[in-house]
Every structure is written in C-alpha cells, then in structure tokens.
Structure 1
Amino acid sequence: MPVAASAVYFLNLRGDVLINRLYRDDVGGNMVDAFRMHIMQTKELGTCPVRQIGGCSFFYMRISNVYIVIVVSSNANVACAFKFVVEAVALFKSYFGGSFDEDAIRNNFVLIYELLDEIMDFGYPQNLSPEILKLYITQEGVRSPFSSKQPLDKPVPNATLQVTGAVGWRREGLVYKKNEVFLDIVESVNLLMSSKGSVLRCDVTGKVLMKCFLSGMPDLKLGLNDKIGLEKESQLKSRPTKSGKTIELDDVTFHQCVNLTRFNSEKTVSFVPPDGEFELMKYRITEGVNLPFRVLPTIKELGRTRMEVNVKVKSVYGAKMFALGVVIKIPVPKQTAKASFQVTSGRAKYNPSIDSLVWKIKKFPGQTESTLSAEVELISTIAEKKSWTRPPIQMEFQVPMFTASGLRVRFLKVWEKSGYNTVEWVRYITKAGSYEIRC
C-alpha cells in the first residue's frame, strides 16, 4: 500500500514548524502539536521512528538539524514512507548545492513548496528524480555558504519525453568516443558451521553492478545461467544449456530500468541503462552454495595454563584462482599471556585487544591448504576457573573471478539504432560476509 500521507511537516530541533504541506483534509492542522507534546517534550525521540497518537500515525526522521514528519490517518507502508523521505532529501540537496538543514529550508521556502506539490499528489509519492524535475522546475535554490559542492549545469533537451516517457533515468544526446559496459557480480557468502563440520546456516547475497558509457539510447539484454534466464522450463529438461548447471535465485529485486513486462513474458533481463554507475539487480541464494574455504579447527585445553590450537584451512575453488586478504581470527581466553606459532604460509600474532590469534595470508591459491599450530600460555588465577565459552572462528577474504552461487553471465547484448560496436567487461568477486566456524 502506498504512503497516502495526509501531511508533511519540517520541524527544527525545538519543535518549531519550518514548513508544512497538507495533502488531505482528514487530519487537523494541530496534529503537529500532538507530535511535540507526546514525543518531543517527553524526550522519546529515537526510541521508535513510528508512533501512533490518537487515530494518526507519525513517521519521523532526523536529517541534520531538521525533523521530517509524515502524518498518516490510515494504514500505510512504513518502508515506502521512509524511502520517500530519503529520496526527497536527496532531491532538496541537489537544488540546495548539497546541503539540507534549517538554514537551507528558511532560504528556499518558495522552491520547497513547488517541489512538494510535484513530488506528492493527494498523499501519494510521484516522481522524485532530480534529473527530471530540474527539466521544468528550473529555479535555482539558495546555496549554503558552507557548501563546497558546485552545482552541475547539464541542459537536457526534449523535456516532454523525459517527463512523460518510460525512460526517465536516462537523458538523450549522450555521445562517447569509446562505448563500453562494465559488469560486476559481487557476492557475500555467509556461513555458520558446527565444530563437527556440518553446515548450520549458509546463504549468498549478491548484486549485479554496472557502469555504462554508451552513446544514444541503447537496449541491453542480459542472460544468466539461472532459471530467470531460461527460455522455457521444458526446454531445460530436454536440452541442457552450454553454460553448465543452472541455479535458482531468491528475493530478486531489479532497478527501475528493467522491463518487467518483457521479463515476465520472455524471462530475459532487458533494459535501457542509466548513464554511469548503477545497481542492476540484487538477489539471494540459499541452495547449492559453493563454499570457497573449509576450516578444520582443533583446540585442546591442557590444564589451566596451556592450550594447543591447530587450524587447517583448505581452499575449494579452482587451482588457477586465488584469494586475497585472507584473515582468520581464532578466539582465545581473556587470560592469555602469550602465544607461539608455526604456520605454513602467511603470518600470525596474538591480538589481546580482540582476544584472538590473527592469521593473515596475502594470497591463497586454489586447491591448496595451509595450517597453523600455536601454543597458548594462560595466566593462572586463584579464583575459581569459569568455563570458557568458545566464540566461533571468523574469516575475511576476497576471491576474484569466483562466485559462491555459481552465477555466470551467459551473454550481454547491446543494441542501438546507430549500430556502433561496444566493448563488454565482466568481473566476478566473492567476499566474506559472516563466515564463522564453531570450535
């Protein structure tokens, strides 16, 4: 359900109304007094950004020294309300030279009222794109004297097409000497493994990042080795694809440029890209995750003053690949005095600030293993020893040209009416999210 806002208020830290806009007549003009009385004066700001007072809901967010309050008289989508606030602040900053505070609001009353009329209609959010709104709201905001950002002057022709057309995220007339597309698949693998080696929790969160330097209005089509890129499910069973196994993506979200109608009918990701950098899609995978590392820890407590730590790390990815910046943090008790190490690669040391043995390996080739052996000396205490609850071992790493989900680009096609040639660059990288092994 959309926001359906009844009113929007801008307040300073004292609770004074700087500017407000009523979109519906289902709330009284004194609703902000209830907000001040029940929230600001009772110092409950920050406890919860959503409050119910009487028959109305208040969504509020602090930006710099300004509170933005949305009043809703009926049930509404809270996430949509806060998304509207974030986008509106970004819009105001683009007009005010990068600043948004009480002074910027006081210096731009007329412009803010005009923008509020455009970005919300009868309480429903409308277009909040600065590139489009600046095509027909050409008034310049009064810039703060403390802002170091310079305004960008980009005159754009054909405002009617930009405002009413379906391609509001890209302007016409772009020309590049060299037409290039950079596509990055960035994944974070999350793991929780038991001390016996069984996987308790495992998933991958990924995103497809693009950087486009293309002339004109190109139409791109992206094919992946997942089920959303297949032609038909029956064809998958009768004829395997050339790109190997297929995977199933969960919780897929697309950038607004993706043609969802074509995606639903043809199962292809087709889009007219924005200019420059943008996030094409996000996804999550819970099945068939390829773990880049296997960690086998053995920790023995020898009495009250000694411990033996042995950790073996195996890289499971291809032999031609390698990981960078590998860090293994092995927890030890707080009463640790010192530790001596033997490692087959990298360097290790005891870090008392985090109560861990930190093992760092700059470059970890694929299909290899490294081991760490450490003798830990503990401080003997007179007090009764409490049982040490062993925190999990944590890992950090980056593996270029590897995806834990197995996602691969099958094709990336670029079509533009002028028929120019393009250069496509595709990269993969897998990073550690919450990668933990119990010991």
Structure 2
Amino acid sequence: MGLIDCLFIADGRNLPIFEHIVNSPAPTFQYVKDRLNSMRKDDFEDSGSSTSVFDHLEPVLDIDANWRVAWIKLDSVYVIVAGETFPEYTEVVSDDEDDEEEDGDDATEQKQTVTISRTVNDLQYLQFLTDFGTVVKSFLNGAVLNPAKVELNAHNLLLILQEMVDASFPYLTDLNQLQELLPSNSILNKIISTTKQIQGTASNSINSLAQGSSLLHASSSASSLASNHFQKGVLPVSCIYEKSGNEIPWRKVNVKHTQNEMLIDLVERISWIVPATRSPKPVYGASTYYNLGLSAKKSKPVLATIDGTVYFNSSLSGVPTIQLVLNLNRHDLGVPSFHRCVETGIWSSNPGVVQFIPPDDKFTLMKYKINLLETETPVNIWNYMGLVDVELVGGLGIERNEFEIKLQTKLLNTVKFIEDLKVEIHVPKDHTVRGLRITHGDLQSRNGVQEWVLDKMLPTGINCTFRGQLLRSGGDPSTFKPDFVTLSYSNKGSVPSLIKVDSMKIISGGSTNVKPYKGVKYITQTNNIMHR
C-alpha cells in the first residue's frame, strides 16, 4: 500500500502513451478511465465538445473503495497517478519486554494498542505531479510535452520515476539532486549507441541479456557492459543509479562557476477594486472640458492587496550561506512562504532577514501577501497602489450621456516608462463604445471587449483622458456608463509596497577568491485593478 502505485500518461483522446507500475497490484489505465467516465456522466452529459475524460473532474478523487486517482495536465498530455486509499485510522501494537525475572518466572510481555491517524493530504499528490512536471521539462530542455515527445523520451521518464519514487512514496523530488543522479540526453544516447556496438561482438550470453524486452533491463545492461568505457573517460565514472548522498538535497555537489553572481527579482502584483466615484455636478465652460486631473476625493477600495515573490538566481561556487536583508517599509509580512533552504527561525526573530544556502540556478526564494486594508499601523493606502491611478466618471456632458476615464502616471526617478498600459471597458449588454476625445492611444475591439490601448512604452508623469459615449444596438446614445474598467500594465524599477533590498552578502562558504556580482531588479505587475 502506497501513495503512488502506478503512473500513466495519456493524450487528449484518452489513449495511454506511457505506463509505469510502481507496486503490484495496481489498476489498469482502462479501469481508471472507465471509472472516471462513469463519475463524469453523473454530472455532465457527453456533448462531444470535449474529448478528455478529465474535463470537469476534481484533480484528486476516489474512483472506488480501494483506489485514489490524481491527475494534472502538462501542455497537451495528462499525467495520472493512482494509489491505494488509506484507512482513516489504524491500530499499532507495541511490545514491551520486561527483562527482569520475578520469582523465577520467565520475562512477561505487555502489549499496548494505540490508534493513530493515517489520513493523506490531497496536496501530496498534486505536489508530486507538479514536481514531476518540472523535472521532466527540465530534462527535456523545456520542450513542450506532446504525445510524440513522451513516446520518444520514454526511457528518460522511466529513469526519472525510478529516482523520484521509492516504495510507492515520493523519494527524491529536488531537481538539482536528480540532475546529478540521472544522465543527460547526450550521455544516455552514448550509452545506447555503445550498447549496440557491444551487442555486435559480444558472446551469446551477453547478447541474450542485452536483447531483453524491458527498457530498464537494457539500460542497466548497458551500464554494466560499458564499465570499461567509464574508466577511459568516455562515460561518467559513477553509476547513474548511485545516490549522491548530498546532505543538502536542493543543491548540487561540487558546484563551480567561473563568474560568481547572485541576482534577485522582486516582483509584486497589485489587486484593487475601487467603487464608483460620484458623478460631478454639471458645470459648463471650456475649463471643465480640459480638466485632466483626478478627483481629490476618492472612494475607499473594497480590495487592496499586494502579492510579492522574490526570485533568486544563484551562480555561486561551493556551498555558500547567504544573508539577505530586506527593508520591509513598516509592512508586517508575518511568516511568508519560504523555500525550504531558508532558516525560518532567523526570520521569526529578525523579520526582514533571510538566511539560506541557495540551490544552483534560479528558484523562488519566498512569497508573501500584504492586505492594505488590514494593516495594524495607520497608513495612506494610496501610497501603495503603484504608479498608475485610474478613475471612471459618468453622467458628463450637456445631456449627461458621456463618461470619462482618467489615467495618471506618477513620477519616480527609478522608473522611466510604464509598459503595455491598457484599459478594458466593460459595458452593459447590447452596448458599444464610441470615443469622443482621446489624448493618448486609441480604442480597439478584441474578442468583443473594448480596449483603450496606450503606447507600449508610456512615459511617467503624464495624464491621459478618454471621453466617450455608450451606444445602444441601434446606434442611439445611452445614458448608461460602463459597468467597470480594468487596468493592466507593468513597470521596472519599483514595487508598490516600496520594499527594498538593503544588503545581500555571503556570510560563510563559497569562493573566497572571487567577489560575487550582485544585482537587484524590481518589477511591478497587475493582477486585477478594477474601478467601477
């Protein structure tokens, strides 16, 4: 009984293209597909619009009393794992022997029964499938997974699963350690080609062994038959199945770089929902027509959050311990989601100090979330809304049938341009937008959505205005205004929370001869900025 007893890969037509049995007995792919089909028909009718049995199904579910199935879609293929369901509770019997003899009698045994929980979190399945997808795409150099690619690299998938799963449970899931234990495509192709050469001249017994139907059998035979080539430097000295024994599983052994550097990308995504601004009283005159500024009084947001991610790119020799100090700008991040290389105790005692031994290459160091509406210290939340402010006002014009969208880009020394700025205008049903006056950009229609698209690289410190009308299906002006507008953009050089990197240094380990290059990049993106 295990978490993962078998793994299948299927195409979009529900046909199996890869199968690996970890532990027997295990359900067949046909049985899993039939059970999923029967469950799907309970809630959905087969309209023919979808060919995948996994559509509209939960990613983890029990298909019967004995088997649990989890799946994930990777590009154009589906990866499915199945394992036996665990009982919610199980009884464990402990035997305590009394070595002392009393009155010449033999030692007595005392048995105690304890009931323990054996529940399995569904996230264990999803985490393994996510890790498997990351590892597979890395070994295939980021290639898009499709049925042809899976069939061509079946030997690679088999070797990966042998390392990632042990006794039907996830074992090694760190990419860096798997890269040490598994051969690259070039090495594996050399093993296979060497095996074919040896087969032509080897004895009958070796030939019969090499001609086994199992791909694993052939690969292991190749490694034993080509042991003399290992010593000559043609292939690696160590066996590809030998565990590395690395005490730091997320970092490679004996990492060496000619140019040491450590780079940080601090990315924040804004989510705002602002209620509608009250329409102004009608004021006539040319000065009103050219008023490009935003209203002084703004409605309080009903949602104001910032999602932050710190990406760390390490190209450092040795086993360095890095200390990163963040200026949190009075924000309380609590306990963020850290990569397991981080010493969380140091952060708990000194918020803002992140100490860790990094994996090699780029990885996600930490994630955090800031809810500006629930801060303990009073702050002006408008200072953390990013560099673009938007406002939607209706009821304008002599007949009160015009609306206006105003944008204001703030000045900041570290930011030169706002990139890919656009406003989606969401209108009532059977209405379209007519532009009356546009100071920057133009009005476009994409997939039935009206968009005010501005310059790809818009300078900071300017005001932009869109004055328009809603037209009914017959072409007559409507007194309605847009339901809401959504804003999207990005910029480099600052983040909305104003969090900054104060220092970044190697406090132990690493190379002492080379001073590492340090770089920090601040990036702002938008999740959802909505103004009603």
TM-score greater than 0.5 by the shorter chain: yes
CA contact (8 A) 1:319 1:365 kept: no
Superposition map of 1:202-217 within 5 A: 202-217=304-319
Three-state SS of the structure 2 residue aligned to 1:405 is coil
Matched, 1:285 2:370: yes
Q: Which runs of 5+ in 2 are unaligned?
A: 41-52, 87-118, 193-233, 278-298, 373-378
Q: Give the RMSD, CA atoms, in angstroms.
A: 4.2
Distance 2:395 2:465 in 1: 14
Q: Which runs of 5+ in 1 are unaligned?
A: 145-152, 227-244
The structure 1 residue matched to 2:261, chosen from 153, 164, 180, is: 180
Matched, 1:307 2:401: yes
Superposition map of 1:143-162 within 5 A: 162=244
1:54 maps to 65
Deviations 1:284-328 (A, max 9, x none): 111265012332322227799x83222333345646644413323
Given residue 394 of structure 2, which amino acid in structure 1 is its aligned partner? Answer: I
1:256 maps to 340
1:20 maps to 21
CA contact (8 A) 2:261 2:316 kept: yes
Given the superposition, is the C-alpha separation of residues 7 and 395 from structure 1 closer, same or farther in structure 2, using an over 3 Å criterion? same
1:125 maps to 170
CA contact (8 A) 1:11 1:19 kept: no
Given the superposition, is the C-alpha separation of residues 171 and 154 from structure 1 closer, same or farther in structure 2, using an over 3 Å criterion? farther
Matched, 1:339 2:435: yes
Q: Which deviates more from structure 2 when the two are superposed, residues 329-338 or residues 284-293?
A: 329-338
Q: Give 1:209 shift.
A: 1.8
Distance 1:114 1:320 in 2: 48
Given residue 170 of structure 1, which amino acid in structure 2 is its aligned partner? Answer: K
Higher helix share: 2
Distance 2:151 2:435 in 1: 62
Matched, 1:247 2:331: yes
Distance 1:103 1:352 in 2: 34
Higher strand share: 1
Distance 1:389 1:155 in 2: 70
Given residue 70 of structure 1, which amino acid in structure 2 is its aligned partner? Answer: A
2:289 maps to none
1:71 maps to 83
Given residue 272 of structure 1, which amino acid in structure 2 is its aligned partner? Answer: I
1:169 maps to 251
Matched, 1:45 2:54: yes
The structure 2 residue matched to 1:220, chosen from 318, 322, 330, is: 322
Superposition map of 1:92-111 within 5 A: 92=136
- Identity value in percent: 17
Distance 2:495 2:451 in 1: 28
Given residue 127 of structure 1, which amino acid in structure 2 is its aligned partner? Answer: L
The structure 1 residue matched to 2:126, chosen from 72, 79, 82, is: 82
Matched, 1:399 2:491: yes
Deviations 1:408-437 (A, max 9, x none): 112111243525322212221212220111
Number of residue-to-residue matches in the alignment: 400
CA contact (8 A) 1:338 1:350 kept: no
CA contact (8 A) 1:192 1:199 kept: yes
Given residue 363 of structure 2, which amino acid in structure 1 is its aligned partner? Answer: F
Distance 1:337 1:133 in 2: 55
Per the normalisation by structure 2, the TM-score is: 0.63
Distance 1:221 1:302 in 2: 59
Q: Give 1:29 shift.
A: 4.2
Given residue 465 of structure 2, which amino acid in structure 1 is its aligned partner? Answer: L
Superposition map of 1:350-389 within 5 A: 351=445, 354-356=448-450, 358-361=452-455, 368=461, 370-376=463-469, 378-379=471-472, 381=474
Given residue 281 of structure 1, which amino acid in structure 2 is its aligned partner? Answer: M
Three-state SS of the structure 1 residue aligned to 2:367 is strand
Distance 1:58 1:133 in 2: 25
CA contact (8 A) 1:350 1:357 kept: yes
Q: Which has the larger radius of gyration?
A: 2
Deviations 1:144-194 (A, max 9, x none): 9xxxxxxxx996999999533115423314132x43322121111110000
Given the superposition, is the C-alpha separation of residues 165 and 361 from structure 1 closer, same or farther in structure 2, using an over 3 Å criterion? same
Three-state SS of the structure 2 residue aligned to 1:85 is helix
Distance 2:404 2:140 in 1: 59
Given residue 390 of structure 2, which amino acid in structure 1 is its aligned partner? Answer: V
Q: Give 1:122 shift.
A: 3.3
